[in-house]
Amino acid sequence: MPDWKHYVRTHLPALHLNPTRELEIIEELATQLEQAYRDALLAGHDPAQAEHIAASQLPDWKKLASEISRAESPRHTAPSRFWETLPADVRHAWRVLLKSPLFLAVAVLTLAIAIAGCTTMFSLIEAVILRPLAYREPGQLVMVWENQYRRGYHKNVVAMADYLDWKTRNHVFSDMSPVLDQVWNVTGQGDPTVWKGISVNERFLPLLGVYPLLGRPFSTDETRAGGPRVAILSHRIWTERFAASREII
């Protein structure tokens, strides 16, 4: 593989920046070229073609250096008079609002809607992004896919034989478990419904570090081909479909 850091140092003119920052920029550009090179190889190009494609990502080094220097140069602005004029601005705004009750009502309503929207958005972000996942050591969990770029498949479902081969040769992960998204048509009580879920083996729940609130996890015999057909219900399905009855467990 080409030494892209050396390539960038050779072609990029001097930026006259802090040495540490200049090194960071070189590493960022080298990473960009290396990724383009790898993508070209995955697309089926030979190494020479891939190197040419990657190099074409940055055709004008002088222009690039000029843009980087301009972006990195400190901007000198006149001191802001914000705090000096703030009291007068507040008094003027208050007088305008008092002279126009309708405008005051619209302004208050707008602020209320904006605050409510921000609160709702923060609650959503906190629940989806900021709140830690309810798994043991979530930062150690990864999803592994099979990519077949030449066939046009990205994140392809892994065949069971490949999964077993991965598990046999695995010396990186502490444990592995297959997961398959599935849909079931459920009948027998009330109207037929469609349930979405996943098929897993007996290692899935221990891998996540979670266990059912009631009942037990899957056994090895239950996850083998031809084994008993069992399921673990979500709390919502258990309460809505089965009225939270313990007799079905």
Last residue of a domain, one of 27, 46, 72: 72
Domain that holds residue 24: 4-72
Question: Which residue would you say has higher pLDDT here, 78 or 217?
Answer: 217
Task: For residue 217, give both structure tokens.
Answer: 């996890």
Last residue of a domain, one of 72, 99, 119: 72
pTM of the model: 0.44
In a domain, 141, yes or no: no
Burial class (CB in 10 A: 0-12, 13-18, 19+), 151: exposed
In a domain, 119, yes or no: yes
Query: Which amino acid, 24?
Result: E
> Taking 80 as the threshold, does the pLDDT of residue 84 lie above it?
no
In a domain, 221, yes or no: yes
Q: Tell me what the mean pLDDT of segment 154-174 comes to.
A: 87
Beta strands in the chain (DSSP E): 146-148, 153-156, 179-186, 193-200
Cross-strand pairs, 153? 148
Report pLDDT for 119.
Answer: 87
- Asked if 28 and 2 count as a contact pair (C-beta separation under 8 A), the reply is no
The mean pLDDT value of the chain amounts to 83
| Cα 173 to Cα 76, 123, 161, 176, 247, distances in angstroms | 52, 34, 18, 7, 38
Report pLDDT for 190.
Answer: 73
165 pLDDT band, cuts 50/70/90, is: very high
In a domain, 137, yes or no: no
Report pLDDT for 75.
Answer: 52
- Asked if 209 and 236 count as a contact pair (C-beta separation under 8 A), the reply is no
Report pLDDT for 130.
Answer: 65
> What residues have CB less than 8 Å from 107, skipping those under 6 apart?
97
The domain total for the chain is 3
Task: For residue 82, give both structure tokens.
Answer: 């914000």
Digit-coded pLDDT (tens) for 20-61:
888 888 888 888 888 888 888 888 888 898 888 888 888 888
Digit-coded pLDDT (tens) for 205-218:
998 888 888 888 99
Last residue of a domain, one of 114, 130, 146: 130
Please indicate, yes or no, whether residues 92 and 68 belong to a single structural domain of this protein: no
Please indicate, yes or no, whether residues 114 and 64 belong to a single structural domain of this protein: no
Chain centroid to Cα 21, Å, comes to 28
Digit-coded pLDDT (tens) for 120-138:
888 877 766 666 677 788 7
Question: Which residue would you say has higher pLDDT here, 190 or 37?
Answer: 37
